[in-house]
C-alpha cells in the first residue's frame, strides 16, 4: 500500500443507505488501519438556487447548514463504530459523482450507498453509484442489501485483466474476513432460458466443466500461494453470470467483480454485469476498475 492510498473515502447525504455506507467504511478503516474521509456535496438544484424569486444567499446558508448537520451525524456514526480511527469531513459545492471520482485517485477504497434520498437531497441521488463505479481509479464498494457475516466472498472470473484485478481484491477481502472464497465462471453470457432450446444446447462444448474448470484454475493460479489461509470453492456454469452472481449474493457477505471485460473464456463481465449487481445484488458489491496507469 502506497502513501497515497491510505484512506477510505465515503460519500454521504443523510439517507439510510449512506448511513450504512459510513458504518461499513468506518469498520473497514479500523480493521485495515486506514484513515476515513467523509464527504458531502452541496446541491442547490432541487431548491431553485439562482431563481430570481429566491434569496440566493439565504438558500446557500440553509443548504450549507443542512450539509454540516449531515456530516456531523456521519462523523458521530463512524466514531461509534471505531473511536480509534482518524476521521476527516469535508463539504463542497458540485457534483458528488465527480468529486468521488476525483477522490478515488488518492484513495484505497471509495464507499457509496446504493441509492440516496437524503435530507439535503444531495450527494447520492440518481445514478451516483453507477457513475462512480464506471469511472473511479480505485475499487468502489457499493453498500446494499445485507452482508451475511458467515457467507463467502464471491468473485466473478472471466480471464480479462479486470478480472485479474478483481481476483486480487477478492483474495485480500477473503483473507481479512477469514471467509471462504467462491470463484464463479460462466462459459456464456447468455441467459439460462436460451439453452432450453435444443439448438442452443447443442453448442455447449463436450466436457465443458472439465475444460472451464481448468481455465478457472489457471486464472486463480499463484494466488493460493499468496493467501494460503483462504479456502477456494470453484463454480463453473454454462450460462448467465448475472443470474448466478445475483443468486450467490443472497448468501454472500461480499461480491467482487471487474467493471468490464472481454475475457479469454467468453466474457463473464461482458455488458452490464457490474451495473446489474450494483443495482440489484442482495449484499455489498466491490467493483474493481482497471489498474492505474
- Domain identity same for 116 and 214: no
- Domain identity same for 184 and 93: no
- Cβ contact 111:10 at 8 Å: yes
148 part of a folded domain: no
- Domain identity same for 18 and 121: yes
Q: Which of 143, 166, 201 is the last residue of a domain?
A: 143
* CATH at 66: 3.40.50.620
Grid coordinates belonging to 21: 455506507
- Domain identity same for 115 and 30: yes
Q: Which of 136, 121, 126, 112 has its CA nearest to residue 45?
A: 121
- Domain identity same for 203 and 258: yes
Confidence band for 251, pLDDT divided at 50, 70 and 90: very high
Domain count, the chain: 2
9 part of a folded domain: yes
- Domain identity same for 17 and 137: yes
Claim: this prediction has a pTM higher than 0.85? no
* CATH at 251: 3.40.50.12370
- Cβ contact 126:118 at 8 Å: no
- Domain identity same for 241 and 164: yes
Predicted confidence (pLDDT) per residue in 131-147, tens digit: 898 889 999 999 999 99
Per-residue pLDDT averaged across 160-182, rounded?
Answer: 91
Q: Which of 220, 115, 243 has its CA nearest to residue 159?
A: 220
Question: Looking at the chain, which runs of residues are DSSP E strands?
Answer: 7-11, 35-42, 87-93, 109-113, 140-143, 153-156, 181-186, 232-237, 254-258, 285-288
Rounded to an integer, what distance in angstroms lies between the CA atom of residue 285 and that of residue 110?
12
Predicted confidence (pLDDT) per residue in 38-74, tens digit: 999 886 555 444 555 454 555 668 778 888 999 999 9
- Domain identity same for 128 and 28: yes
Beta bridge partners of 206: none
196 part of a folded domain: yes
37 part of a folded domain: yes
Rounded to an integer, what distance in angstroms lies between the CA atom of residue 94 and that of residue 35?
24
- Domain identity same for 90 and 162: no
74 part of a folded domain: yes
Q: Which of 110, 143, 176 is the last residue of a domain?
A: 143
**Domain that includes residue 69, residue range:** 3-143
293 part of a folded domain: no
- Domain identity same for 121 and 169: no
Q: Which of 85, 118, 143 is the last residue of a domain?
A: 143
Predicted confidence (pLDDT) per residue in 51-60, tens digit: 554 545 556 6
21 part of a folded domain: yes
* CB neighbours of residue 282 within 10 Å: 19
51 part of a folded domain: yes
Confidence band for 252, pLDDT divided at 50, 70 and 90: very high
- Domain identity same for 138 and 157: no
Rounded to an integer, what distance in angstroms lies between the CA atom of residue 48 and that of residue 280?
32
Amino acid at each position: 500500500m502506497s502513501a497515497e492510498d491510505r484512506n477510505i473515502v465515503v460519500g454521504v447525504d443523510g439517507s439510510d443507505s449512506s448511513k450504512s455506507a459510513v458504518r461499513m467504511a468506518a469498520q473497514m478503516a479500523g480493521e485495515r488501519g486506514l484513515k476515513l474521509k467523509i464527504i458531502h456535496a452541496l446541491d442547490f438544484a432541487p431548491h431553485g438556487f439562482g431563481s430570481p424569486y429566491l434569496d440566493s444567499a439565504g438558500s446557500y446558508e440553509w443548504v450549507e447548514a443542512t450539509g454540516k448537520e449531515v456530516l456531523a451525524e456521519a462523523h458521530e456514526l463512524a466514531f461509534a463504530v471505531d473511536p480509534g480511527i482518524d476521521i476527516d469531513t469535508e463539504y463542497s459545492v458540485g457534483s458528488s459523482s465527480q468529486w468521488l471520482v476525483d477522490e478515488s485517485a488518492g484513495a484505497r477504497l471509495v464507499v457509496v450507498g446504493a441509492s440516496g434520498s437524503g435530507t439535503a437531497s444531495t450527494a447520492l441521488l440518481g445514478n451516483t453509484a453507477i457513475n462512480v463505479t464506471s469511472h473511479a481509479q480505485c475499487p468502489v464498494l457499493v453498500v446494499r442489501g445485507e452482508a451475511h457475516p458467515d457467507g463467502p466472498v464471491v468473485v466473478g472470473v472471466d480471464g480479462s485483466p479486470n478480472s485479474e484485478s478483481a481476483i486480487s481484491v477478492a483474495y485480500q477481502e477473503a483473507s481479512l474476513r477469514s471467509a471462504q472464497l467462491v470463484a464463479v465462471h460462466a462459459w456464456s453470457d447468455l441467459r439460462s432460458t436460451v439453452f432450453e432450446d435444443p439448438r442452443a444446447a447443442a453448442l455447449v462444448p463436450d466436457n465443458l466443466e472439465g475444460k472451464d474448470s481448468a481455465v478457472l484454475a489457471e486464472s486463480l493460479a499463484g494466488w493460493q500461494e499468496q493467501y494460503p489461509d483462504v479456502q477456494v470453492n470453484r463454480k463453473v456454469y454454462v450460462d448467465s453470470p448475472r443470474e448466478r452472481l445475483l443468486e450467490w449474493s443472497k448468501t454472500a457477505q461480499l461480491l467482487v467483480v471487474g467493471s468490464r471485460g472481454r475475457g479469454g473464456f467468453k466474457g463473464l463481465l461482458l455488458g452490464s454485469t457490474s451495473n446489474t449487481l450494483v443495482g440489484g445484488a442482495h449484499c455489498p458489491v466491490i467493483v474493481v476498475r482497471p489498474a492505474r496507469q
